[in-house]
Structure 1
Amino acid sequence: MDEEAKRPVFGNRFLSETDNVFQHNAWDNVEWTKEQETEARKITQGHSCEPLPEDEKDNLLNDASSNWDKFYEKHNNKFFKDRHWLFTEFPELLSITSKSASSVDDTAECSHNDDEGHAPCSNKSDGLHFPGSSKQSCVLEIGCGAGNTIFPLLQVNTSNELFVYGCDYSSTAVDIIKSHRDFDDSRCHVFAHDITSDAKFPFPEQSLDIIVMIFVLSALEFDKMKAAVHRIVQLLKPGGKLLFRDYGRYDMAQLRFKKNRCLSENFYTRGDGTLVYFFTQDEVRDIFTSAGLVENQNIVDRRLQVNRARQLKMYRVWVQAKYVKPL
């Protein structure tokens, strides 16, 4: 595991003296002034007042998958870095094969019993055969992209009992993963899938221990998010977890959008045609609890990143959350 993987968990580096701002590359829990908040709100309101024309909006929504295909055709696996930081923020991905995903949390436990009253839920005894059906612990990453979560996970968690699924809107992204030198179909299965559709998954309901959603739900229209989440929650075993991280309201990326990039309130198109929504904590809570999940974590990761060479300050806002499927 490299140095990035060893970085402190969010919330451990605080800026107490403004003169020290360029001492490190990033600071946690940086409080915004009322002026900053007011200015950010003013900027986003301006975006909504000058939205993208309706015909262009419709074209973007209809071409969403093809625009992601074009993105991966252009960048292949060179755009995003491997997410080794996941193991500090989401240690459940490392412990899943040493104990059941549900046992990490006190609010949920396995619904099957052994002689001692507890046993990990497994796909082995259900009599069905599908990719990963013989494995003890299964993880699904939604929006797997070029494998920047999948490959670090399989590299760090080498247990033979772990099986990882990955799905993405883009079939091009799926092909990139399959062509990767480290791809192993005995440990991983990837497939193209639109979670807003009724298309079937290649495994049954209640077969997953963990679902990972990292900067993916934001690519959907807000009105479609609840139905999509409700659909994927059915895939979790009782006691299973959903791990979430995505863009927060007033993130630097939102404030930098120009005129005629706004499709609807807090929902934008980038220059390459891909789409992005910026969340509040309350919106995240409503989406996942409406699907029957129990909240375990919901925090705003509000960071100040700096470019020390150019003396620039960049205010990032992300929402990180963990939800559990009750018995």
Structure 2
Amino acid sequence: MEESRMRQGNTPGSCSNVTTVCAEDDALQRKGHSARTLSPEEAEKLAKGQGLVSEFKQLKLEKEAQKNWDLFYKRNSTNFFKDRHWTTREFEELKACRQFAGQKLTILEAGCGVGNCLFPLLEEDLHIFAYACDFSPRAVEYVKQNPLYSPERCQVFQCDLTRDDLLQHVPAESVDVVTLIFVLSAIHPDKMHLVLRNIYKVLKPGKCVLFRDYGLYDHAMLRFKAGSKLAENFYVRQDGTRSYFFSEEFLSQLFRAEGYEQVANDYVQRETVNRKEQLCVPRVFLQGKFQKPSSET
């Protein structure tokens, strides 16, 4: 149910440097409000990597964020992530929010990548119209080149959600569901509120944002070596792309500060098996649902 391939914390983001993980038994999934507890060895390893990347390099990474993601998609094309066929299973709102059968549903996929979530949704549900955007112009072009892409059912556009106004592409309060899946973690934590503020403008009152991303102490967080830390729970990979690991408290405060109501906010803990290397690693994700109030006060 999580990202089908796990990027190593300190290696380039190419397919040859990716650890493939296998789907695991659903019985191994646990949800709750408690973060994963580190072993003494894990805590020691994490403590050793507390030195921060220099301010000069941090500014350079922020300035080159779009370029680094564009290069990521240039290297990996559409082959890095597997299609996400689990979204309607994990988020029943994608089906249950309709008031009658066959009701048209308008969604916004914020950070669509090359369409790994978008196209399975459009295939599964013929009554969905989707707006989709991504930071990377190259990723947007890959979406448009997909044989399943149809302008009648999907409008895709390039957008920096921290700077570009979504109202240039999406009518105000026209969207029933926003998906924010493995996207916010790639954005500097100081700018995450700008994304939520931008999304708020196009979301209908009473409708929701569906969130899933990396959780605190996920295995990927523990793989980063010294010299990769940018800020608390925020790291840079060797290819220049960045990843934040969310705590339940931080995510709750982030959404509430922008006027959303929290409906759900849980850690999802799983054990992922790499049968090839005979490894079992702990994955931690944060999954939430945050609603725009039905009426403004």
Interval of TM-score (by shorter of Structure 1 and Structure 2):
0.7 to 0.9
Q: Amino acid of the residue matched to residue 48 of structure 1? A: Q
Q: Amino acid of the residue matched to residue 187 of structure 1? A: R
Tell me the alpha carbon deviations over residues 193-247 of structure 1, each in whole angstroms, 9 at most, x when there is no partner: 0111143431222111000000100111111112321221121101111000000
Q: Amino acid of the residue matched to residue 274 of structure 2? A: N
Superposed, 1:281-320 pairs within 5 Å as 281-320=248-287
Aligned equivalent of 2:48: 46
Superposed, 1:64-79 pairs within 5 Å as 64-79=65-80
Aligned equivalent of 1:104: none
- For residues 175 and 46 of structure 1, do their structure 2 counterparts lie closer, same or farther at Cα, with a shift above 3 Å needed? same
Sequence identity (%): 39
Superposed, 1:169-248 pairs within 5 Å as 169-201=135-167, 202-248=169-215
Deviation, structure 1 residue 324: 1.3
CA distance in 2, matches of 1:98, 1:315: 39
Deviation, structure 1 residue 310: 3.4
Query: What's the secondary structure of 1:48's corresponding residue?
Result: coil
Superposed, 1:262-273 pairs within 5 Å as 262-273=229-240
CA distance in 2, matches of 1:92, 1:200: 23
CA distance in 2, matches of 1:287, 1:239: 19
TM-score by length of structure 2 reads 0.83
Q: Amino acid of the residue matched to residue 191 of structure 1? A: F
Q: Amino acid of the residue matched to residue 179 of structure 1? A: Q
Deviation, structure 1 residue 137: 2.5
Contact 2:165 2:198 in 1 (8 A): no
Superposed, 1:104-143 pairs within 5 Å as 136-143=104-111
Q: Amino acid of the residue matched to residue 81 of structure 2? A: F
Q: In the comparison of the two structures, how many residue pairs are matched? A: 267
CA distance in 2, matches of 1:293, 1:204: 19
Contact 1:140 1:211 in 2 (8 A): yes
- For residues 200 and 299 of structure 1, do their structure 2 counterparts lie closer, same or farther at Cα, with a shift above 3 Å needed? closer
- For residues 137 and 33 of structure 1, do their structure 2 counterparts lie closer, same or farther at Cα, with a shift above 3 Å needed? closer
Superposed, 1:14-163 pairs within 5 Å as 25-26=24-25, 27-29=28-30, 36=39, 38-49=40-51, 51-96=52-97, 99=100, 136-159=104-127, 162-163=128-129
TM-score by length of structure 1 reads 0.76
C-alpha RMSD over aligned residues: 2.2
Q: Amino acid of the residue matched to residue 291 of structure 2? A: V
Structure 2, unaligned runs of 5 or more:
2-22
Deviation, structure 1 residue 33: 8.3
Q: Amino acid of the residue matched to residue 54 of structure 1? A: E
Contact 2:180 2:209 in 1 (8 A): yes
CA distance in 1, matches of 2:174, 2:35: 42
Contact 1:94 1:156 in 2 (8 A): no
- For residues 39 and 293 of structure 1, do their structure 2 counterparts lie closer, same or farther at Cα, with a shift above 3 Å needed? farther
CA distance in 2, matches of 1:52, 1:29: 34
CA distance in 2, matches of 1:213, 1:189: 17
Q: Which has the higher strand share?
A: 2
CA distance in 2, matches of 1:48, 1:251: 17
Aligned equivalent of 1:278: 245
Contact 1:41 1:250 in 2 (8 A): no
**Larger gyration radius, structure 1 or structure 2:** 1
Query: What's the secondary structure of 2:109's corresponding residue?
Result: strand
- Of structures 1 and 2, the one scoring higher in RCO (CA 8 A, sep 6+) is 2
- For residues 158 and 34 of structure 1, do their structure 2 counterparts lie closer, same or farther at Cα, with a shift above 3 Å needed? closer
Query: What's the secondary structure of 2:176's corresponding residue?
Result: strand
